[in-house]
Amino acid sequence: MAQGSAAFAAPGETTAAAPANRLGAGSRVVAVAFVIALATLLTAYLALGVPGKWFAAADSKWLDAKTFAIAVGNGAVDDGALVVTPADASGTIIVTVPATIRAADYPGVAWRVTGLPAGTEARLLWRSEFKPGRTFMMEIPVEADRLAPIVVARNQDWIGPINGIGLALRLPVNEPVRMSGLNIDTLSAGSLLKARVRDWMTFEPWNGASINTVVGGADLQELPLPALVGLAVLLATALVALLVWWRPQWVGAGLPLALAVMFVASWFVLDARWQWNLARQARVTAGEYAGKDWRDKHVAAEDGALFQFIERVRAKLPDPPARVFMVADAPYFRGRGAYHLYPYNVHFDPWRNTAPPASALHSGDYLVVYQRQGIQFDPRQGLLRWDGGPPLAAEAMVVEPGAALFRIR
């Protein structure tokens, strides 16, 4: 009888354990599919991104701004970066670095430069001991306000021992640029993966687009983490669906829950990175604003220069209400300028860079100009005009570099 009881108990135990086994099977299948998907995507990225050998004997080199020498231009090191301004109206800046490397070991070059205005021309300069006495150059693409990494090994003159590297910039306007360093890269598989992790972990400070989206690290990335994780989830789901069609008995009833857990876990990874960035931003914000009064907080903000200019404008304006027109090339400055001018009767175009027609302004109106091209004022005749329109009699009440307040007479 004891044997019979044991025989009857065994099927019951198997039945109770079956759902747990099926759930475990589904979790294992989804986990393996996600790992395969992630490995496949990274392998594909490396196959496209590594220009030569996957494994390099040399290590990538990072040269900070302290090693830079200014050949053309004016500047100095500020907070770890070299801030350089063109020396004349040509807008030319040339910076050199005394680097000695083997060209075959370092196919990639990436300059860390920010603040480049639209229309900037950039070229990499170098000298090779194979062809002494000559300086070679290669164009560097400009993306947003910074320089894109380049694969200089594609240039036939990148050969032999390199005994000097430089950067030549031609700016359309005479503005300072910040140079934080130079990365001379082996572009091996390990180097690229380290660079991507460094991109993901880079602090992303708040900007004008942060209310809508956060990239998740460096501004310019070859492989953003949200895109990688999202594609891995989609590919893993497709692999699991294929397995369900091919071998349904391998999966089990717990598959839907396992897929949901994979999605939530992936979301958590991205959210954890965002929360870490938020904590760093909170420390930065506290350092900028903690302990300051209302005015000092405005001065410390991104539009601090505009705020101080509007303070001087308000000192010249009569008591509200008065009609004030705010114009600026940048939508941000138009909107923030109007905000700082309230409760005056402020007029501005939030969408387009337009100025009011001259016929819309009357005696006693005010025009506030901040970094806006096309404004012309003749102080001798007291005539103001903009965008080729008819002149209006006006008085300049505040005049500063790139900013002014006019009262229409």
pLDDT of residue 15: 45
pLDDT of residue 4: 44
In Å, how far from its chain's centre is CA 406? 37
- Which residue is listed with tokens 């430069």? 113
339-347 long-range Cβ contacts below 8 angstroms, 24+ apart? 340/306, 340/307, 340/310, 341/310, 341/313, 341/314, 341/368, 344/317, 344/320, 345/320, 345/321, 347/323
Residues in the chain: 409
CA–CA gap between residue 332 and residue 301 (Å, rounded): 13
pLDDT in tens, 13-49: 444 444 555 557 778 899 999 999 999 999 999 999 8
Asked if 341 and 314 touch (Cβ cutoff 8 Å), the reply is yes
Reply yes or no: is the peptide bond before residue 226 cis, omega within 30 of 0: no
Task: Judge if pTM exceeds 0.85.
Answer: no
CA–CA gap between residue 97 and residue 112 (Å, rounded): 13
pLDDT in tens, 39-92: 999 999 999 988 878 898 888 999 999 999 999 999 999 888 999 999 898 999
Nearest to 316 by CA among 382, 366, 354: 366
| DSSP per position, 45-64 | HHHHH--S-SS-SS--EEEE
Asked if 149 and 110 touch (Cβ cutoff 8 Å), the reply is yes
pLDDT in tens, 298-342: 999 989 999 999 999 999 999 988 999 999 999 999 999 999 999
Asked if 240 and 30 touch (Cβ cutoff 8 Å), the reply is yes
- Rounded mean pLDDT of the chain? 89
Nearest to 325 by CA among 299, 303, 356: 356
In Å, how far from its chain's centre is CA 377? 38
Asked if 179 and 65 touch (Cβ cutoff 8 Å), the reply is yes
Collapsing DSSP to helix, strand or coil, 306 comes out as: helix
pLDDT in tens, 130-157: 888 899 999 999 988 889 999 999 899 9
Nearest to 100 by CA among 37, 58, 51: 58
Structure tokens at 82: 């070299």
Structure tokens at 404: 């002014």
User: Does position 363 have pLDDT exceeding 60, yes or no?
Assistant: yes
| Backbone CA torsion sign across 43, 49, 52, 58 | negative
